[in-house]
Structure 1
Amino acid sequence: MDFQTLLRNQIMALHQICKISDIGEGQCKTFTVDSKQIAVYNAGGQWCATENTCLHKGGSLGSGKLEGNIITCPLHGWQYDVTSGQCQNNPEAKVGTYKVQVEGDQVSLEI
């Protein structure tokens, strides 16, 4: 293991959160990891994760509608690209993202 990998493993912890079958294609779910609310998305087989809270009025992104790689907040319709966290309604707004790892049938997050 090289130094960069060793350092990253010490900084980021890998958390198993669900199985692939728990989140169908085009679906999302919310999980609490280390007291953080995180929305996890299966965007056409691409796994993504963001902070769960919409920057507009605090709605739950994990309760929103996912179309392609865009999640729409159920409260007021703000939209975010789940691959980058970038808000589509306000170019200055961006939710945090998390790295997702899929091994076998297990989905894990780096936190």
Structure 2
Amino acid sequence: MFKGTGVDIPNRSADQVRSIFEELDQDRNGNLSRQEFIALWDALAKERCAADPKVVALGLCAFLDTNGDRKLQISELKKFLPLFGLKGMALAAIPLPDWASVDYRGLLR
């Protein structure tokens, strides 16, 4: 189980990890280049999303949940909103009370 998300993550054997690494290490230099690492990340993300479409949302929420209470306080949520283009005055104009929170675990069941 991935900490704080409720998402089951399959355990891979050392041989499975080695096989995946060797497949992605296109130039066979024993290291993953930036491009090779992005390919790994992309493959793993697609695998996780296919197994459970909520995995990305749960992972993101767990990352933003800095106090670990499984709820997003408005202060935690406001750190994420600029990724959607909400900055400065636009962010300040949204009437989000500081006492409010979102129980993301309940929403993403």
Q: What TM-score comes out, normalization by structure 1 length?
A: 0.24
Q: What TM-score comes out, normalization by structure 2 length?
A: 0.25
Greater share of helix: 2
Greater share of strand: 1
